[in-house]
Amino acid sequence: MKPHISALSILTISALFAPAAEADILKVPSATFPTIASAVAAAHSGDTIQIGPNNAVGSGGTYFENIVVPNTLTGLHFKGANVAWDGGANDNNLTFTGPNDGVTVEGFAFTNGLSHVVITGNDATITRCQSIRSRNAAALQITGNFAKVTNVHVEGGVGDGIRISGTDATIDQCVIDGRTGPGVDLLAADRASVSKCKSSGCDVGILAAEMI
C-alpha cells in the first residue's frame, strides 16, 4: 500500500522549512518615510530604521520628534550618523515602552527632551551618541539585563547621565560632563562593568552598589 500524504501534512512541512522573513531597512527621510514616526509605524521586529539628516524645509537638518516604540517591536536598530534630534521641552526623545528586547540606538546627537533615550528590555545597546542638556531624570536609561552603553558623550543637563537597572551591564568609553546629578547611576544594577569612562563636573561620578 502506498503511504498517504494529506494536503495538511504538505502544508505543515512547507511551513516548517519556509525561510524566515528578512529584516527590512526603512530609510528616513524618503518619499515613503518622511519622518521617524512614519518609519516606526511601518516597522517590524528586527528592522533597521536608517536615518539621515532631516530634509524638511526649515528643519536645519534636525528632527523635532518624540517617538514611542510599542512593546510589540523587538530587535529594532535606530541607525544614524550623528543625526540631530531635538525632543523639545515636555517629553522624551525616544522611548521603548517595553519589553523591547535586543534594540540598538546608534549615531544620534540628542538635545532637549526630558530623557533622551529610555529603553525597557534585555540586550539593549546605546552607542556612538551625544546627549546634550536633557531636562529631567536620566539622559540615557536602560531597564533590563545585559545592557551596553558604549562611546557616548553626555553633556550638561539635570539628573543622572546614564542610568542602568538590571544585571550584567557594560559601560565602555563614555564621557559624562557637567550633570546636576551622578554621571553614572548603577544603584539598581548588579555585576556592572565600567571601563575607560570619564566623569567630570557631575555631583557624583559613579553611584554603584556592586561593580566588576
What are the E-state strand segments in the chain? 25-28, 48-51, 63-64, 67-69, 77-86, 94-96, 104-111, 117-120, 125-127, 130-134, 140-143, 148-150, 153-157, 162-167, 170-172, 175-177, 182-190, 193-195, 198-200, 204-208
Average pLDDT over residues 198-212: 83
Distances, alpha carbon 208 to alpha carbons 40, 86, 163, 186, in Å: 35, 30, 10, 5
Are the beta carbons of 73 and 95 closer than 8 angstroms? no
Q: How far apart are CA 206 and CA 28, in angstroms?
A: 36
What pLDDT, on the 0 to 100 scale, is given for residue 195?
Answer: 96
Q: Please name the residue that has the C-alpha cell 536633557.
A: 134
**Residue range 138-180, pLDDT digits in tens:** 999 999 999 999 999 999 999 999 999 999 999 999 999 999 9
> Taking all residues of the chain, what is their mean pLDDT, rounded to a whole number?
91
What pLDDT, on the 0 to 100 scale, is given for residue 137?
Answer: 83
Are the beta carbons of 193 and 174 closer than 8 angstroms? no
What pLDDT, on the 0 to 100 scale, is given for residue 17?
Answer: 54
Task: State the pTM of this model.
Answer: 0.89
Q: Please name the residue that has the C-alpha cell 528586527.
A: 46
Average pLDDT over residues 126-130: 98
Distances, alpha carbon 103 to alpha carbons 60, 113, 139, 164, in Å: 28, 20, 17, 15
